[in-house]
């Protein structure tokens, strides 16, 4: 599948926006600062996105590891809140360690963990799985899963569909999924609402893209886990315990999943401008076009 441009991705998010969050009518303004050090005194808890804040693909963003260590050194709590559904939790921890980030496993909150936390009532179902077979099924022990590939019969026999990773997904598989849903409606659960994610050479197409596409073409209403939906923020705050939300800041690189998510959670937000989704693009113009206004625009973490 051809990678989307920033403009195409922006339009895709705008088209799906009514599924993401109510459109805010608040009159907001934002402040531009250079780094998170400029706002450190105002917050006690920092929730950081992964793609576009910690790393671009498999490459760490220069200086972010030191910034996190500096924040921790003055008593700040720093956690990752990411729509990373495609990889096992242990694999993510190893990746962050390799990239010179020191996060305790409980301080990495993902849409994968959010989904699993709420799947207990559906463990009797047989799920068709959008995921990369080579990654394996760690964390999903106890669920009845069948990989969705090229066999049409499998799409007809499962009780529902679980979309967690799209690296190996194809338009042909998407057509089989949409046909199966047209014949018989079943639940669609999405572990990553992102439409795209920034990589070293452009954007990858994520499960959210395919979920919105099938929702447009069928009558199915997917159930999303992850930003901007409240379930992932509920899990994050449960992990850290009582905290004054006025002293928490979410730091992300996109407007439609990240900044909308922070607003839904009722906490302050900071948009990274020089890395991730809007790197090299006109951030003020994007904010004005979307009407999604962060509290801060931060050049780099």
Q: Read off the pLDDT of residues 268-280 as tens digits, 9 standing for 90 and up.
A: 999 999 998 888 8
pLDDT digits (tens, 9 = 90+) for 207-236: 999 999 999 999 899 999 999 999 999 999
**Could you give the number of structural domains in the chain?**
2
Domain boundary among 209, 224, 239: 224
CA-closest candidate to residue 27, choices 297, 293, 296: 293
188 vs 200: CA distance, rounded Å = 30
Greater confidence (164 vs 280) lies with 164
Would the pLDDT of 48 be above 70?
Answer: yes
Strand pairing report for 77-82 and 45-48 = parallel
108, 125: one domain: no
Mean pLDDT of 81-89: 94
Give the chain's largest Cα–Cα span.
58
Q: What does the alpha-carbon distance between residue 222 and residue 22 come to, in Å, rounded to a whole number?
A: 17
Can you give the pLDDT at residue 144?
92
Helix 171-183 × helix 207-217 angle, to 10°: 40
**Does a structural domain hold residue 100?**
yes
Q: Are residues 107 and 11 in the same domain?
A: yes
Tell me, yes or no, whether 147 and 54 share the same domain.
Answer: no
Q: Are residues 131 and 81 in the same domain?
A: no
Same domain for 103 and 125? no
150 and 173 together in one domain: yes
More confident of the two residues 73 and 197: 73
- Do 202 and 261 have their domain in common? no
Mean pLDDT of the chain: 91
For 65, the domain range is 6-114+227-298
CA angle 38, 41, 45 (to 5 degrees): 105
Q: Quick check: is 76 in a domain?
A: yes
Please report whether residue 1 resides in a domain. no
**Helix (H) / strand (E) containing 48:** strand 45-48
Give the CATH number, domain containing residue 137.
3.40.50.1000
One domain, residues 130 and 180: yes
Rounded to the nearest 10°, the torsion over CA 242, 243, 244, 245 is: -110
Rounded to whole angstroms, the Cα distance separating 34 from 107 reads 26
Name the domain boundary from 182, 201, 224: 224
End-of-domain residue from the set 208, 224, 240: 224
Whether 168 and 206 map to the same domain: the answer is yes
Residue 26 placed within a domain: yes
Mean of pLDDT values over 102-130: 89
Let me know if residue 207 belongs to a domain. Answer: yes
> Domain check: are 209 and 257 in the same one?
no
Tell me how far apart the alpha carbons of residues 21 and 287 are, in angstroms, rounded to a whole number: 16
Same domain, yes or no: 141 and 290:
no
Average pLDDT over residues 195-215: 87
DSSP letters along 150-166, please?
S-HHHHHH-SEEEE---
Q: Let me know whether 84 and 209 are in one domain.
A: no
Is the peptide bond prior to 201 cis by the omega test (within 30 degrees of 0)?
no
The model carries a pTM of 0.91
Cβ partners under 8 Å of residue 236, min gap 6? 47, 79, 81, 109
Q: How far apart are CA 26 and CA 297, in angstroms?
A: 18
pLDDT tens digits, 94-115: 999 999 999 999 999 999 999 9
- Residues 6 or more apart whose CB falls under 8 angstroms from that of 221 comprise 215
Instruction: Give the CA distances from residue 258 to residues 127, 137, 233, 254, in Å, rounded to whole numbers and listed in that order.
Output: 28, 27, 11, 5
Q: Is residue 271 part of a domain?
A: yes
pLDDT band at 121 (very low <50, low <70, confident <90, very high): low
């Amino acid at each position: 599948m051809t990678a989307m441009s920033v403009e195409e991705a922006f339009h895709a998010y705008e088209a799906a926006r009514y599924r993401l969050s109510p459109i805010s009518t608040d009159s907001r303004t934002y402040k531009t600062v250079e780094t998170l050090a400029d706002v450190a005194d105002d917050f006690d808890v920092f929730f950081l996105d992964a793609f576009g804040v910690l790393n671009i693909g498999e490459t760490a963003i220069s200086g972010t590891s030191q910034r996190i260590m500096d924040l921790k050194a003055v008593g700040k709590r720093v956690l990752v809140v990411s729509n990373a559904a495609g990889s096992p939790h242990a694999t993510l921890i190893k990746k962050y360690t390799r990239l010179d980030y020191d996060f305790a496993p409980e301080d990495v909150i993902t849409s994968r963990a959010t989904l699993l936390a709420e799947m207990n009532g559906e463990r009797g179902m047989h799920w068709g799985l959008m995921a990369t077979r080579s990654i394996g099924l760690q964390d999903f022990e106890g669920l009845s899963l069948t990989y969705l590939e090229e066999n049409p019969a499998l799409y007809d026999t499962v009780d529902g569909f679980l979309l967690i990773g799209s690296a190996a997904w194809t338009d042909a598989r998407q057509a089989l999924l949409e046909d199966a849903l047209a014949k018989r409606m079943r639940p669609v659960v999405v572990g990553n609402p992102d439409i795209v994610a920034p990589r070293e050479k452009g954007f990858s197409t994520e499960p959210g893209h395919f979920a919105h596409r099938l929702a447009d073409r069928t009558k199915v209403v997917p159930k999303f886990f992850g930003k901007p939906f409240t379930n992932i923020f509920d899990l994050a705050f449960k992990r850290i315990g009582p905290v004054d939300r006025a002293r928490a800041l979410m730091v992300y690189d996109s407007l439609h999943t990240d900044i909308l998510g922070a607003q839904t959670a009722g906490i302050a937000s900071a948009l990274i401008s020089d890395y991730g989704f809007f790197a090299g693009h006109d951030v003020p113009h994007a904010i004005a076009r979307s009407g999604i206004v962060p509290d801060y625009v931060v050049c780099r973490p």
